[in-house]
Structure 1
Amino acid sequence: MIDGKDKVSKIYKVLEDKKAYDIKILYIGDLTIVADYFVIATGSSDTHVKALTDEIEKKLMEDGVFVDHIEGYNWGKWILMDYGDVIVHIFQQPEREFYNLERLWADAKEIVLDNRI
């Protein structure tokens, strides 16, 4: 089974490869029982946000990791993917600025990937 760190790394790579921008990883495991990590990224359009979501789901499924729940796909402005210990938020810029999860979770530790967590 793939652990949270490996999921985050794979998700990050997909987001980078598919040209998401402003990708942030927050470790929230010390602050809540909801998850261990938030991965937050921005796409440039409804189509881009959906494509990022589809590719994450496809790549993780290849490793036997299945999404528990997806919210907001039809809308395409903010899509949430729940992988249990990892929650992925893919926004368009106006929604990201409005909801400002980084401010809401300001006490979380930001993780910077250098090929490993």
Structure 2
Amino acid sequence: MTATDHALDLVRTAAQAAADKLATDVLAFDVSDQLVITDAFVICSAGNDRQVKAIVDAVEDALREADAKPVRREGERDGRWVLLDYAEIVVHVQHEEERQFYALERLWRDCPTIDLQLT
């Protein structure tokens, strides 16, 4: 099983919104074979707490324009790692230190990456 076309569209929309706010190391994985609860993860980093919030806001705005609403949102108060769950995709916006410590891309390295086609 692979991520749906709709999920891939949401992934690319979220990734582009994050990149537009200068997120670094933007990656996406198709986790549909490993998890039944979502199709894809988007992971990106920010240099400080304020940038984490700016990226989260941009992603939410872009996905809202695509008629996607988050089912769950976690970590915003601390501003170090915010998780946005859209059911089909999950977006992780992490402070660089959390990104290095938790190394999500290492955990999911067996999953295929998604070509983000960022501009």
**1:57 equivalent in structure 2:** 60
Q: CA deviation at 1:107?
A: 1.3
Q: What is the CA distance between 1:4 and its match in structure 2? A: 0.5
1:33 has 2:36 as partner = yes
Counterpart for residue 83 of structure 1: 86
Q: Give the unaligned 5+ runs of structure 2.
A: none
Residues 39-77 of structure 1: CA distance to partner in whole angstroms, max 9, x if unpaired?
000011111001111111112112221111110001010
Of 3, 8, 15, the match for 1:5: 8
- Opposite residue 9 of structure 1, the aligned amino acid is R
What is the aligned partner in structure 1 of residue 48 from structure 2? Answer: 45
User: How many equivalent pairs are there?
Assistant: 114
Cα distance per residue 1:21-56 (max 9 Å; x no partner): 000101100111121100000011111001111111
RMSD of aligned C-alpha atoms? 1.4
Misfit runs of 4+, over 2 Å: 112-115
Partner of 1:103: 106
* 3-state secondary structure, aligned to 2:82: strand
Letter in 1 for 2:59: I
Shift of residue 82, structure 1, vs aligned partner: 0.1
Q: Which residue of 1 aligns with 2:116?
A: 113
Distance (Å, rounded) in 2 between the aligned partners of 1:56 and 1:64: 12
State, as a whole percentage, how many aligned pairs show the same letter: 35
Unaligned runs of 5+ in 1: none
